[in-house]
Amino acid sequence: MNELNREKITFEWIILEKERKLQEIRQVKENIHLIAGEMLGPKQDKIRGIEGVMSKLSYGLAIFDGIKMGIGIMRRFRSFFVKKR
């Protein structure tokens, strides 16, 4: 065995190494949380007044239009497989 670079492994060394690794994991977890918050969080420059209302209305209408179109496509798709009487 190569004993030149080998340290004695003691309980104190294991405890210290465990603490260092836990601290490193906490730091990485915090960095991931911050990056995810920046990517997925709301934008900081919120639009106020009538522009904000109009943007929310536009967003709502887009959702409604998407649902309406999805229902129409679903009905047409079903009509291909339903037996006509």
- Report pLDDT digits (tens) over 59-72: 899 999 999 999 99
- Report pLDDT digits (tens) over 16-51: 999 999 999 999 999 999 988 887 776 656 667 777
Domain ranges (residues) in the chain = 8-41, 44-85
- The b-or-e profile of 54-71 (16+ CB within 10 A means b, else e) is eeeeeeeeeeeeeeeeee
